[in-house]
Each structure stands twice: as C-alpha cells, then as structure tokens.
Amino acid sequence: MSAPPSDLPPGAASKGKAPSHHDAGEVSRALIRAIAEGVVGFEVDLPHRVRYLNPQAERLLGVDERAATGVALADLVTITETACGRSLGGGEPLPVQGGGFEAQVRTRAHPDGFHALLSFMPVADHGDRLAVLTLRDVSARRAAEEKLRLSDKVFEFSAEAIVITDAEATILAVNPAFTWLTGFRPDEAIGQTPRILKSGRQEDRFYADMWQALIEDGYWQGELWDRRKDGSEYPKWLTINAVRDDCRRTTHYVALFSDISERKENENRIRFLAEHDHLTGLPNRRLLETKARQLIASGRRRDSGLALILIDLDRFKNVNDTLGHATGDRLLIEVARRLVDNVRASDTVVRLGGDEFVVLLEGARTVEEVMPVAAKLRETLNHPVVIDGHGLHTPPSIGIALYPQDGADVETLLRNADTALYQVKATGRNAWMFYSGEMNEAVRARLQLEQDLRRSIEDGDFELHFQPQFEAATGRILVWEALLRWNHPTRGQVAPEEFIGTAEETGLILPLGEWVLDAACREAKRWEREGHGLFRIGVNLSARQFSDPGLAAAVRRALADSGLEAGRLELEITESLLMGSHPEVKENLANLKALGIRLTLDDFGTGYSSLAYLKAFAVDRLKIDRLFVRDVDTNENDAAIVRAMISLAQALGLGIVAEGVETESQHAFLRDNGCPETQGFLLGAPMPAGAIGGFLAGLAPS
C-alpha cells in the first residue's frame, strides 16, 4: 500500500535537511490518525478500492483497516439520501475533484444510518491515482437543527400565544397567535413588557405571588384577565416557565396563553344549570343553601337579620291532574315571575321543587318588617292566573322563620318555616304564619301520632263500629256503615278526626283502608251466616285510596276472601274527589262499577255540586250532609235545599239518604218530603260488631 500523502507544505525542511520519503509518510500517517473525522483513502478509478482508514473511519464503518484494504468503497459505505442526488457506486466515479455535501449514510457499524458530512479531495502520490473521503457524524447537529426548526414551526403555527422575554421581562419575541389574540403587532410588543396586557382586574398581590413562584419554582400557571389592544377584556389561561443557564441563573421567560372565554361561558352555563331551576330559571335548593349561608355570615358580622319565607301553592295538584303538566308548568312560571316582581332586587326567590318556593329577605329581623311582604305575596298569588281561558286559583300557604331567633343555620330555618307552613295548612290554608316554639310541640305530637299509627296497624289496635241506615217508610235497616275506631294502647279511644288526616298525609291510609275493607266484608258475611239478615255494608274511601291504582284489586281480594257478593258492598266517596277528575279516579270508578259495586256520593251539597259529575260517574246514591239536616225543620232555606236534593235524586233515579237525623221533627220532615232513607243517632248510634245482634233483636216486633 502506498504511503499516505504528505500534508506538509512544499519545500518544508527540518533543521535544513529535507525529510526522507519514509519520514514524510510517517508524519502524514500520524496526522491522519489524529484527525477526529473519519478518513478513507481510496483509488480514484472504479471500483474505488480502499487503500487505508484512520481509527475514526474504522469506528464509523465498523471494519478495521486490514479487512477494508482492497474492498470496494461502495461495499463499506452506502449513501441513501443526499440533497444533491449523489450516490456512491452504481458504476459512476465519485466527485474526487473536491467538494462536500451532507447525506444519510449506512455502514456496518450503523445499519440504520446516520447523518454525515462527506468531503472528497484528490491527493498527489507517486504515480498512484488516489483520493480521500472524510466522514463527519453530524447526526447530533442535524437533530439539534431539526429540533430548532420544529421549535420555530411550533412558535409560528401554535394556536396558543407565545411570548419570550429576557430576565427583566422585556419582550423579545411574540408569535402570530399573540397578535391574533391581543391585537398587538410584533413591532408594537417587542421592547415592551407584558404590562401592556394588564386589565387591572387582579390586585398587585396577585402578581407579587406569581413572580414569587417564578423565582422559587421557575414555573407558574393560572387564570387571569387581560386587555386587548382595542381595550376589550378576556379571561386567559397562562403558563410561564423560567429558562435557566447551567448556573441556575434565569436568562429568559417563556409564556404561553390562550383565550378561555368560551370555556368560561360553558363553565358558567353548567354552574347555572346546576344551581338554577330549569323551568323557572330561579335559584334552586343548592344555591339557596349557598346564598343563605352567605347572608347568615354577613348577618353575624353586621348584626343584621334574615327572613326565610316558605311558600306552598294550595290545590296545585288539581291543576296538574285536570289540565295537564304543561299547564301546571306555565302556572309555576307565572308564580315565579310574580314573586320576583314583588320583592326587592337584593332579595332572593328560590324554587325548591314542585309547587314550593322560598323567598330570602336580606336584612329583615322583625315580624313587623316581614309582615307587609308576606301580605303582599299572599295577595299577588291569590289573583287567578288565566291560561288558555282557564282562571286558575292556587292560593298560597306561607310559613316564615327569622334569623337569628328561629335558627342559626339554613337547615334549621327551613325546618322551622316548614313547621309554620304545616300549621297554616292545618288551620285552613291561604294564610301566612310565623314560626314559634310552640309549633314544635305540635310537630312532635304529629310525629308521635304517625309512629303510633304505624305501630297500631301492625299490632291490630283498630276496630270497626257500625251505624245503621234505615228505610224511612218502614224502619227496615238497609245498610250498615262501617266506621273506623282506634283503641290507642295508652290514650284510649282516639276520634277519627284526630288521626285520619295524618294517615292520609303519610300514606298509612292505604294499609288501614285495606284492613277496613276486609273486616267490613267479613262482618257482613258473618251476620248473614248467623241469620241476622242480608244487609249492604258501607265503607268510606279517602281521596288517597281512590287515587291508588291498586284499589280495585284490594276490593276484589276483600270480596273473594269474605265470600260477600259485590252488590252488597257500597263505597262512599266525597264530592271533592270527583271534582279532581284524576285519571286514576276515573279508572278506579270504571273498574269498581264493572265489579258491580254500589257507589254513594257523600256530603252532597257541600262542594261544587254539579249534574255533570252525577252523569259522568254514575253514582247510585246521594247522601245529604248533616249540615242541611240540622236545621231542616226550622230553617226554610235548608228545607228548600233538602227538598231540591230529594227531587233531583228522584228525577235522576238515584237513591238518597239523609244523615245526622237526631230529632223526631227532622225525621218527620224527611219522611213527609219523600226522603227514602235516613241515618242518625235518633234511629241508631254507631256500635261495635258484637252489639249488633242485640240491637237487631230489640228492633224485632214482640
């Protein structure tokens, strides 16, 4: 192998003596070995056989000099990509006349390739045509350049605004998104500080904390408000990173931010939906609790008060059931509007749900301050709401609790206002009442009554008494009306008017009513077996029972279990129940009539008596209320009303019975005016089942 060419300049000498050919070759080889780049000597002529390698070339090519000598260069180095389209091998000579280019290169040591700077140059040798290839691995540099290029693209095309400042927060560079978002061009921003974006919404302490975090942690992220060039303000999400050198000194800051107006709007919308009633747009219970806690906390600091007014609409369920929920919704929207219009802007109107509303009166502390507001709300809600030609009247029942005297937290105030509301409903509705400590006693008594009812239903502390209904002309008993009696284990006999209302409100009337049905049917059948006679048995049904979808099934069970014929069971329903026209009521009426059950309309004349009800619901009998019977023999108006009722029943082919007959003159009037049936203490008081045999024996002719 020829010696590598000398890199010494022509004519160079050592101590005045020209170096020998051997000495120059050794020096040149030493220099080539010391070069940090890979050096490959090869023949100019094809196939470019290798003549020598330096150690760096051995490492890059993955072959030692001895094994590479004489091998075609194309077998050791493959150029896979060049900017100029050059290729190594392929039957074409290499550009040995000099020049360089970058290319992707594969070798045995780097089968996946690396990026190299390639240089070719011819060398003068003694008669040989040689050239030198130098390879420098520039992969790291290329990667850095690519990373920088990508960073430039990210900077340019990022959807987030990017600001680069020096350590003193002077703006050095901004990207196009910054201009699009803020309105400031690069020439208007560079040289300024981010203070040009300051909105003034954040206090100085906010920025002091931000810079403290940047100094300590080199990072800050959060939400703040900025101002655009045109003066408009917007919320943004900002991230700032400090750039530090090897000595941990901050050299730059890089800030990225984006407009989060849409996100904030969505968050506010979600928060609004979570805290407001979807129908009326009023705050809901969740926001009520938050607002009340704020007002109570403020009241403690300022020594001021708060009034919580709880409002419930009477008879609202009738609107839903008769005209539909869409009409009910429109009514609630109008009620909400009236409430808002009749309180101050600083007060809060809340819809709790259903037909319940709350008004928070900020600063109100005394009864005298709240009374005019309560009266005003009652008055406005008493005005009918006209919807689709219907004048809807749903007067309010209102309970009021005051902070701090009636409670120190919102839960207690709500509970005490509800207690006052319960008292309003118990005393006639359509009124307002302030909470008092005595009301708690009434509530505790009601809760105790409910518990006692549940226990007595399980323990069987109830019994039936029966009152006869007579044929006026003959004195013959036609019907025995079953009346519920409660033998309380400690209080003794409890009157029905004391517990029936609670039973209906709590739903206990349903199991209790089923027991009454079963027991009454069994008794009627027992009397038949004992030879007392074939009587009809009358059972009173509450509105809650008659709205129960399981009523017809309960009646069928009672008849089947007792063996009583359906025609001997007579159910008494009230006029107000028919007025509701609930779908369940209509269905139950149809099912009961299909079974052959007889129906009596109780308290006839005390409500909105209508021939339409009598026609639509096909009742069998009317019961004249004791209110009209009491003075029928002394009051001409009552006498005229009763005569009209008797005539109406006769004209419609209905039976009719007058209840509450207590004197001979009352009985004589009814009999003489054609009332076919009578009932009252004059003829027979309610009695336990065990006394009926003796009572019947006393009626038998001697």
Quote the CA–CA distance of 424 and 71 in Å, as a whole number.
111
**What does the pLDDT look like over 392-419, one tens digit per residue?**
888 899 999 999 988 889 999 999 999 8
Of residues 94 and 269, the one with the higher pLDDT is: 269
Residues of the chain with CATH 3.30.70.270: 276-435
CATH number of 454-699: 3.20.20.450
**Dihedral sign, CA of 326, 330, 335, 340?**
positive
Region 52-66: mean pLDDT is 89
- For the beta carbon of residue 414, count every other beta carbon within 10 angstroms: 21
Domain 276-435 fold: Alpha-Beta Plaits (3.30.70)
Residues of the chain with CATH 3.20.20.450: 454-699
Residue 15 has pLDDT above 50, yes or no: no
Could you tell me the pLDDT band of residue 423, with boundaries at 50, 70 and 90? confident
Region 189-211: mean pLDDT is 90
CATH 3.40.50.720 fits 158-264, yes or no: no
Region 121-150: mean pLDDT is 78
Region 240-264: mean pLDDT is 89
Q: Whole-model pTM?
A: 0.49
How far separated are the first and last CA of the chain, in Å rounded? 159
Region 340-367: mean pLDDT is 91
pLDDT of 516 reads 95
Region 302-322: mean pLDDT is 87
Region 506-513: mean pLDDT is 89
pLDDT of 9 reads 38
The phi and psi torsions of 224 (rounded to 5 degrees) equal: -155, 170
Residue 242 has pLDDT above 80, yes or no: yes
Residue 535 has pLDDT above 50, yes or no: yes
Could you tell me the pLDDT band of residue 25, with boundaries at 50, 70 and 90? low
Residues of the chain with CATH 3.30.450.20: 21-138, 158-264
Q: Please report the beta strands in 66-175, taking only residues with DSSP state E, as ranges in sequence order.
A: 78-82, 99-106, 114-124, 129-137, 161-166, 171-174
Region 223-236: mean pLDDT is 92
**What does the pLDDT look like over 572-620, one tens digit per residue?**
987 666 655 556 677 888 888 889 999 898 877 665 555 656 666 678 9
Region 546-561: mean pLDDT is 89
Give the whole-number percent of the chain exceeding pLDDT 90.
37
Region 79-84: mean pLDDT is 63
Of residues 256 and 607, the one with the higher pLDDT is: 256
56, containing H or E segment: helix 55-61
Of 244, 559, 289, 519, the C-alpha closest to 410 is 289
Return the ∠ at Cα 688 (arms to 683 and 694), rounded to 5°.
65
Quote the CA–CA distance of 606 and 638 in Å, as a whole number.
12
The CATH number of 21-138, from 1.10.357.10, 3.30.70.260, 3.40.50.720, 3.30.450.20, is: 3.30.450.20
Of residues 45 and 421, the one with the higher pLDDT is: 421
CB distance 255 to 242 below 8 Å: no
pLDDT of 4 reads 43
Would you state the structure tokens that stand for residue 582, as one six-digit string? 């609930």
- Between the alpha carbon of residue 155 and those of residues 194, 239, 300, the distances in Å are 18, 15, 54
Could you tell me the pLDDT band of residue 16, with boundaries at 50, 70 and 90? very low
Region 153-173: mean pLDDT is 86
Give the whole-number percent of the chain exceeding pLDDT 70.
88
pLDDT of 630 reads 93
Of residues 518 and 84, the one with the higher pLDDT is: 518
Mean pLDDT of the chain: 85
